[in-house]
Structure 1
Amino acid sequence: MPLVRLDISHVRNLASVRFEPSSQVNIIIGENGSGKTSVLEAIHLLSFGRSFRSHKHKTYIQHEQDSCLVFAQLHNEHGRPTPVGLQRHRDGQIEVRIQGERAQSVIELAERLPVQLINPDAFRLLEGSPSVRRQFIDWGVFHFDGSFIRAWRGWQKALKQRNTLLRRGKISPSLLAAFDQELIRLGEQVNGSRKAYVERLTPYFLQVLSVLNAELAVSLQFYQGWDSQKTLQMAVEAGRERDIELGYTHSGPQRADLRVKSAGGDALDTLSRGQQKLVVSALKIAQGQLLIEMGRPLVFLVDDLPAELDANHRQKLCRLLESLNSQIFITSVGPDTTDFTWADTTDVRHFSMNNGELSLSSKGFQES
């Protein structure tokens, strides 16, 4: 569902911003600190209920304000606008409304407004901890498999209960085994969904990467979190005594990882920063492409696109994004770095950001 209108109140230096973006390409030009990234942050907040810039909600609520608000009109499949909104209060409370009615959770927004982010911090997908890559997988599985979120929540609850028991100590393996059946059942379901998703995603990733750089050979390997030759039940049973000694569950889906390999080893260790950016961009675009082919339109947020990429690769990346027929928001510090050649049929709108105020730019910023 593309955004046909966006209202942002009290997000960082954006006191009050209202604009009607293109359903295709939107380019926001502004100096560092002008607020252009805050627009993307607000859209991300509306989808995820959290910022991609900080885990602390008080940092993005404008100073001396009790809350921030992001409201949007989404264009649904029937051609009618769907109003959605999220208000984050300084005390941490989140209020979500869809079509004027209070929603039970942010998940209902995530389902209606899938958002994919490509920004300088995307390198964390390669250099960050396995939890970052698990989040990447789980975002895709959430939209790919409707039963996943319920299984994931149940497994998380069972895992926390088990670890609480282990931290208390003095628990026998036989007593612990009585708590493990639900953990194993749901854990196997979570693992199966993740594995199936990575298998489905891989050919999309390889195809996108070949477009960005035909000479870059990279593979994806899914590590489930325990010996691949064993079932989860076998791994849990074999590790009970060790878990009691450690005080936590050491094997299972909570240790899953997506391993990105090049011919020379780990992609993080063998690829240049520019090549790493291409790999991460390919992963993000492939994930979006798979979702779109399932009939789920999404929004791409591209912050500081020129970073680490030359003009040739920026052009290739934009052509790929354009081919997905998705709504795209791109930020840049100057028009000279967004000199992309878009198709004549693509609706490209240029906006300028200055001290928290957004305005539609003239055709002067458009490509020649």
Structure 2
Amino acid sequence: MVLLKLEGKNIRNLDSFTLHCGPSANVICGKNGSGKTSLLEAIYFLGRGRSFRTRDAKTVIKVGQSELVVSAQVDRHQNGLVSKIGVLRTNKGEFVARQDGRIIRTAGELAVQLPIQLIDAHSFLLLEGGAQQRRQFLDWGVFHVEHSYMALWRRFHKALKQRNQLLKHDRLRASELELWSRELVGLSVSIAEKREEYMHLLKEEVNNICANFESFVGMSIEYYRGWDCKNDLKEILVKDLDRDRKYGKTHQGAHRADLVVRIGSAPAVNYLSRGQIKSLVYAMKLAQAAIFQRKTGLRCIFLLDDLPAELDIWHREYLLKALNQLSCQYFMTGVNRKDFTNFIEKSSHQIFYLDQGRLAS
């Protein structure tokens, strides 16, 4: 999976640009405020249909303009067969995505076409933040190695929504509640099984990577289903009914799943420094990329925002070496070219410079 040419228009403070990308490392340098992160945001938008910086996509559109456009020529299998992917977003909320003229109708389908991993200043929240972020991380991995998982996930959330709506009614419709509870139980179990299969692969890869770090000795990573697996979820929902009705929501099920990372018996976030937490998160993302590559034969594209500020030289070079071993294409930003000097001297790379939103190579 390689971006060959990236084009963008009306993205934040960036001038319209055309980027002829290298197949491996793409280094983007420039002063603070020059638009480096906005360039990564454009690539992310192309693969996810949204920004990683804001929930309000309209704010990504340049002031005074009505729409943004991002497109790319992509060599998906790195065999010389090139396809074109493009997205358009208007300030009225309209969103259109196409691949070779064909309309892409869902964010999941778009993600299949351009699998992206992001590492930025907020990546540590994968461990320090709430369980939802870890579920999203896990579901990204499952979805990209088994595309049928998305349909299963959607069916589950429909059942969850329906059950929660029924719980809020003053008059409980028992037959409907039974129907959606049964659906939710079956889908929760199916989702848990898919996630657990993936977890076996993830633990193996993470352990292999973390073996290179003394601070991660004794680390374990476990999956919590979202309910006590020793008990039947159907029975749990019956016992929880009064509480669920009181709060108008379902307290147990696949939507409450989590990843639990420990060093010995202590939660990793209580044991590790912020820098070590970042390194562990990066190891988890590298593990995902390795699994994705092994299962699909494709490679992720990595976006690394302000890497020199996030990692010391040793950890930075370890990460970049790992990306090179995976043969991933990646885009990384930094203020100064010298921040990447040791790495640049050893690797194939392309360097771009940004100055007040204007791109030069």
Pick the TM interval, shorter chain: over 0.9
Match of 2:325 in 1: 323
Q: TM-score, normalised by structure 1?
A: 0.93
1:3 matches 2:3: yes
Relative distance call for 1:146 and 1:308 in structure 2 (3 A) is closer
Match of 2:84 in 1: 83
Per the TM alignment, residue 308 of structure 1 is displaced from its structure 2 partner at its CA by 3.9
Instruction: Supply the RMSD in Å over aligned alpha carbons.
Output: 1.6
Question: C-alpha deviations, 1:13-69, integer Å up to 9, x for none?
Answer: 113010111011101111111011111111111111111111111221111111111
Check the 8 A contact 1:96/1:106 in 2, yes or no: no
Distance 1:359 1:152 in 2: 43
Per the TM alignment, residue 315 of structure 1 is displaced from its structure 2 partner at its CA by 1.2
Q: Which runs of 4+ in 1 moved over 4 A?
A: 172-175
Distance 2:342 2:6 in 1: 25
Relative distance call for 1:149 and 1:2 in structure 2 (3 A) is same
1:246-257 equivalences under 5 Å are 246-257=247-258
Relative distance call for 1:232 and 1:145 in structure 2 (3 A) is farther
Question: C-alpha deviations, 1:95-154, integer Å up to 9, x for none?
Answer: 001101222223222101100011111011011111111110111111022221000000
Unaligned runs of 5+ in 2: none
1:41 matches 2:77: no
Distance 1:179 1:110 in 2: 29
Distance 2:242 2:174 in 1: 6
1:283 matches 2:284: yes
Match of 2:351 in 1: 350
Distance 1:336 1:232 in 2: 56
Match of 1:133 in 2: 134
Of 25-34 and 100-109, deviating more is 100-109
Per the TM alignment, residue 173 of structure 1 is displaced from its structure 2 partner at its CA by 5.0
Choose which of 295, 298, 322 in structure 2 pairs with 1:296.
298
Check the 8 A contact 1:29/1:352 in 2, yes or no: yes
Aligned residues: 358
Distance 2:182 2:265 in 1: 41
Per the TM alignment, residue 172 of structure 1 is displaced from its structure 2 partner at its CA by 5.5
Of 120-129 and 224-233, deviating more is 224-233
Match of 2:314 in 1: 312
Which one-letter code corresponds to 1:21 in the other structure?
A: C
Check the 8 A contact 1:26/1:351 in 2, yes or no: yes
Question: C-alpha deviations, 1:294-346, integer Å up to 9, x for none?
Answer: 212110111111224221111111111111001011111112221233686x4
Which one-letter code corresponds to 1:57 in the other structure?
A: A
Distance 2:348 2:37 in 1: 21
Match of 2:223 in 1: 222
Distance 1:273 1:148 in 2: 33
Match of 1:162 in 2: 163
Question: C-alpha deviations, 1:57-104, integer Å up to 9, x for none?
Answer: 122111111111100000132422100100011111110011012222
Match of 1:340 in 2: 342
Check the 8 A contact 2:75/2:82 in 1, yes or no: yes
